[in-house]
Structure 1
Amino acid sequence: MFRINKLTDYAVVLLVDMARTSRVRAAHDIAAETGVPAPTVAKVMKALVRGGLVRSTRGASGGYGLARPAERIAVSDMIEALEGPIAMTACVDSAEDCCEREAYCPMAGHWNRVNVAVRTALDGITLADMAKDAMPPAWMTPVVPRRSGAGTGAQTAPAPMEPNV
């Protein structure tokens, strides 16, 4: 199974949140709003800054913000910022490491087509696409008033204000 790692998954969650709010925020605020633990937010943000997707600003009004518009950040950019170049196998044209069987491998060159198809698909979806379809975290969803029994009136549970982290 082809699967991104947990830190990349967190990176996408954080980037989607940043795209939806579009303001500079401190790591602890991002952690509180997303439910991702603060140490993980700090670690992921460092990688995203190195990858050129997020900018960091120091000072009293500092924090993290997107380095470019969400429409110009592809899913492939997010994955590469955390995991490096996207390749289905080590034997694609751009690979630095070669297999000792490369000279007589029947699959030589064929994985490149698969790699290009995967890359094209990941390039075609942007952070803006993901942010517009994203649901807010469950703890942020307001509680809908519910009726209980005839004649007792509506009862409303209070909406939670902060995540349980």
Structure 2
Amino acid sequence: MRLTSFSDFGLRALLVLAGSERETWSSVDLAAKLDISRDHLIKVLQRLAVGGYVQATRGVGGGVKLAKRATAIRLGDALEWLEDDPALAECFRDDGGRCLLTGFCALRPKLERARRAFYAELNATTLADCLNPALREFVAAPLSAA
């Protein structure tokens, strides 16, 4: 299993927001801190906002911040929300895909159990559990001038 860059960026953004003393972050500053495309980050932040993970305010003095406490954000739930296509294989798609083995394949239920175990393991951890002094130091460091 491999995370999409979309999900990866979303988890990174959540970590920075959770590890920050700042009230809000502009998308420009957050993209610079994470060294990622601002355009891509905005799409990620929009999805996180729809999911209730971040609150975004437009305009002067606006920015993005966590919408709930880091202790209330389960990593598995956040990741599952960010993943655009959770289908591990073609047969997991809503339309069933075009696999000729569908209907008698013994692999699909095993993959589904593994997928559920993956998210359950991540749900044993909150965003707050991932905060440490090194992360907080990284987040607090001044943005480098380009």
TM-score by length of 2: 0.76
Alpha-carbon distance in 2 for matches of 1:138, 1:16 = 9
% identical aligned pairs: 27
Q: Which amino acid aligns with 1:45?
A: L
1:44-83 deviations in whole A, cap 9, x for unaligned?
A: 2122112221111234322111111111112223322332
Q: What is aligned with 2:29?
A: 29
- SS of 1:61 mapped into structure 2: coil
1:13-52 correspondence to structure 2 within 5 Å: 13-21=12-20, 23-52=23-52
- 2:94 equivalent among 71, 93, 96: 96
Cα RMSD between the aligned structures? Answer: 2.8
1:101–1:129 Cα change, 3 Å: same
Per-residue deviation, 1:87? 5.0
Is contact 1:35–1:164 with CA below 8 Å preserved after alignment?
no
Unaligned runs of 5+ in 1: 141-160
TM-score by length of 1: 0.69
- SS of 1:21 mapped into structure 2: coil
Per-residue deviation, 1:164? 5.0
Q: What is aligned with 2:7?
A: 8
Q: What is aligned with 1:84?
A: 84
Alpha-carbon distance in 2 for matches of 1:106, 1:67 = 41
1:162 aligns with 2:146: no
Alpha-carbon distance in 1 for matches of 2:139, 2:70 = 23
1:137-148 correspondence to structure 2 within 5 Å: 137=138, 140=141
1:124–1:85 Cα change, 3 Å: farther
- SS of 1:103 mapped into structure 2: coil
Per-residue deviation, 1:127? 1.1
1:81-129 deviations in whole A, cap 9, x for unaligned?
A: 332364544546xx63334422222335333321221121121122111
Is contact 1:88–1:114 with CA below 8 Å preserved after alignment?
no
1:34–1:103 Cα change, 3 Å: closer
Q: What is aligned with 1:152?
A: none
Is contact 1:55–1:67 with CA below 8 Å preserved after alignment?
yes
Per-residue deviation, 1:133? 6.3
Per-residue deviation, 1:134? 5.1
* Length, aligned pairs only: 142
Alpha-carbon distance in 1 for matches of 2:63, 2:116 = 36
Alpha-carbon distance in 2 for matches of 1:69, 1:138 = 17
